[in-house]
Amino acid sequence: MTYSNILTACGFSENEIKGGTLAVTTPVDGSEIAVVREHSAAEAEAMISSASQAFKKWRLVPAPRRGELVSVVRVDAMIVFSLESLCFSSCA
């Protein structure tokens, strides 16, 4: 499985992975794993503000209820294992 496959399996679109000008590299071997779109300072501030507002609401949800969501929204174990495999095989 490639980094691109892993990112796609995590829900990133092809455009999000390859539709930009800012290269993203892995610290494992320096290879390029994506080319993402750059955002303006105003766009970044809006995203940060949105995330901050969402967190303020999320932290009010009781821990047991948040735990229920975690059990429903699980990352496919094969994605995690594939990523670890890529990392360890590149380091060997």
Residue 2's pLDDT is 80
The residues that bridge with 65 in the sheet, in sequence order, are none
Closest C-alpha to 2, from 92, 75, 79: 79
The total domain count for the chain is 1
Q: What are 26-81's pLDDT values in tens digits?
A: 888 888 989 999 999 999 999 999 999 999 998 999 988 888 877 666 665 566 66
Exposure of 63 in the CB half-sphere (CA atoms within 13 A) = 0
Place of tokens 């060997």: 92
- Show Cβ contacts of residue 7 under 8 Å, excluding neighbours closer than 6 positions: 16, 17, 33, 34
pLDDT tier, 11 (very low <50, low <70, confident <90, very high otherwise): confident
Task: Quickly count: other Cβ atoms within 10 Å of residue 3's Cβ.
Answer: 19
Residue 29's pLDDT is 86
For residue 80, the enclosing domain spans: 3-91
